[in-house]
Structure 1
Amino acid sequence: MSDMPYQPTGTQSAPPAPAKRRHIFRWFFLAIQAAFLAWIIAGIAQNSDSCVGEVGAALEACQAGTAVGTGIGVGLIIGLWAAVDIILGITWLVFRKR
Structure 2
Amino acid sequence: MIAGANSGGSGDCGTLDAQTCKDAGDVGTAIGLVLVLALWAVVDIILGISYGIYRLCKRS
Residue 68 (1) aligns with residue 49 (2): no
| 1:19-59: CA deviation from partner (whole Å, max 9, x where unpaired) | xxxxxxxxxxxxxxxxxxxxx22211211xx238xxxx621
Runs of 4+ off more than 4 Å: none
Higher relative contact order at CA 8 Å, sep ≥6: structure 1 or structure 2? 2
TM-score by length of 1: 0.48
RMSD between superposed Cα atoms in Å: 2.1
Matched residue type, 1:69: G
Give 1:45's aligned residue: 6
TM-score by length of 2: 0.72
Q: Which residue of the other structure, out of 55, 77, 83, is the alignment partner of 2:36?
A: 77
Gaps of 5+ in 1: 1-39
Bigger share in helix: 2
Q: Which residue of the other structure, out of 34, 51, 60, is the alignment partner of 1:92?
A: 51
Max Rg structure: 1
Give 2:18's aligned residue: 59
Matched residue type, 2:6: A
Aligned residues: 54
